[in-house]
Amino acid sequence: MIDVNRVTALGELLIDFTPSGYSDKGHGLFETNPGGAPANVLVALSNFDIQTSFIGKVGNDQFGHFLKNGLEQNKIDTTNLLFSDQVNTTLAFVHLDPTGDRSFHFYRNPGADIMLMEEDINEELIQQSEIFHFGSLSLTHEPAATATFKALEYAKKHNVMISYDPNLRIPLWDSLDRAKDMILKGLKYADIVKLSKEELVFLTGNEELEKGTEIIQSQYGCSVVFVTLGPEGCFYRSKSHSGKTSGFHVEVVDTTGAGDAFVGGALYKVLELNKHVNVLHRTELIEIVTFANAVGALATTKKGGIPSMPSKEEVEKMLLT
Ligand code: ADP
């Protein structure tokens, strides 16, 4: 058991096989990297010296051990990363098109990440966290969906702040209706939610940032809603304030992980302010999103997910310029 754990995240953990570059000649060279949004968020926090823990499941195979080592190299506690002897680690194959845009093919047949069980959830670990973060890939299949809701029940019971990035990946759901139902069910637990504009429209049917975020807040009770807008920064809404903050201008290399970096940056600032997000002043909200925009922007200046998470010094330097 670790002494002080401030943020716990639960979710998928898989290996991304990414082509070393676009080639229509099929050169067959791939880079392998640990993947999964909740783990990226923890790496962003780890880079700011926040102690974190990961809850999830991988196969007891070479891939699973590679992933555990990857988290540990990033100073994430893996005591609650479990190994399955029956099911293999989930793999994701990235397809790059000539413009550098990516799509994913998942090998999950099923994958160990969705075999997380209710009884695998460590209540004590969640109880001693200040923030519990989760995504939606663990909600796509059972038993991981039930296990995720068990973890959310523990977080609520112990008044742990809950952060949610639905991170909708349509091909992973068997139906869009089920995706919407499950994501909305997850929203009911969230104190902090980060959405993309597309997700906001999908969930609320509303194109307008003001109206859409108001629906999320009034119907699901989320204290703070962030809608990230790529290079344009982010829209934020708390119970008493809303507004837009501009993004930072950077030379973009690869946008993978920008949203996770944003979440990591936002959670870091929430911890630093040491307040529940339902009592934030406007200046504090702006401080959070400005910092998060800087972390997100810096993550686009390097390749990959985990390797692109910036250091605190890089973020501070960007905020001073
Ligand atoms: P996601 O990766 O979840 O789709 P975004 O692409 O909106 O999320 O990126 C998250 C955040 O990262 C944005 O709110 C912004 O602060 C920053 N960001 C993303 N793309 C850029 C960019 N091209 N230039 C500057 N900042 C960016």
Distances (CA, A) of 17 to 12, 41, 74, 155, 202: 15, 20, 20, 33, 29
Q: Residue 110, preceding bond cis, omega within 30 degrees?
A: yes
Whether 1 shows a pLDDT value over 50: the answer reads: no
Tell how far the Cα of 259 is from the centroid of ligand 1, in angstroms.
6
The pLDDT, as a whole number, for residue 55 is: 98
Q: Whose CA is nearest to atom 11 of ligand 1?
A: 296
Burial class (CB in 10 A: 0-12, 13-18, 19+), 221: middle
Domain ranges, ordered by start, for the chain = 7-11+37-87+111-320
19-51 core/surface letters (b: 16 or more CB in 10 A; e: else): beeeeeeeeeeeeebbbbbbbbbbbbbbbbebb
Residue having the nearest C-alpha atom to atom 7 of ligand 1? 230
Fill in the amino acid letter for 292.
Answer: A
Around ligand 1, the residues with Cβ closer than 6 Å are 196, 228-231, 233-234, 247-248, 250, 252, 255, 258-259, 262, 293, 296-297, 300
Q: 134-168: per-residue pLDDT in tens? A: 999 999 999 999 999 999 999 999 999 999 999 99
**How far does the centroid of ligand 1 lie from the alpha carbon of residue 229, in Å?**
6
Residues 6+ apart with CB under 8 A from 50: 6, 7, 268, 271
Paired strand residues for 225: 193, 237
User: Where does the pLDDT of residue 21 fall: very low under 50, low under 70, confident under 90, or very high at 90 and above?
Assistant: low
pLDDT in tens, 179-211: 999 999 999 999 999 999 999 999 999 999 999
**What is the number of other CB atoms lying within 10 angstroms of the CB of residue 166?**
26
Cα–Cα dist 162/159, whole Å: 9
CA of 247 to the centre of ligand 1 (A): 8
Which 3 state secondary structure label does DSSP give 248? Answer: coil
**231 pLDDT above the threshold of 50:** yes
3-state secondary structure of 301: coil
| Residues whose CB is less than 8 angstroms from the CB of residue 191 and which lie 6 or more positions away in sequence, other chains included | 161, 162, 163, 222, 223, 224, 276, 277, 278
| pLDDT for residue 78 is more than 50 | yes
The pLDDT assigned to 201 comes to 97
Q: Is the peptide bond before 143 cis (omega within 30 degrees of 0)?
A: yes
Q: What is the 3-state secondary structure (H, E, C) of 117-150?
A: CHHHCCHHHHHCCCEEEECCHHHCCCCHHHHHHH
Q: What is the pLDDT of residues 259-276, one digit of tens each?
A: 999 999 999 999 999 999
pLDDT tens-digit map of 233-258: 999 999 999 999 999 999 998 888 99
pTM attached to this predicted model:
0.96
Say which amino acid occupies 166. P
Count Cβ atoms within 10 A of the Cβ of residue 192 and give its class: 0-12 exposed, 13-18 middle, 19 or more buried: buried
Question: pLDDT tens across 279-303, in order?
Answer: 999 999 999 999 999 999 999 999 8
| Domain 7-11+37-87+111-320, CATH number (from 3.20.20.80, 3.40.718.10, 3.40.1190.20, 1.10.220.10) | 3.40.1190.20
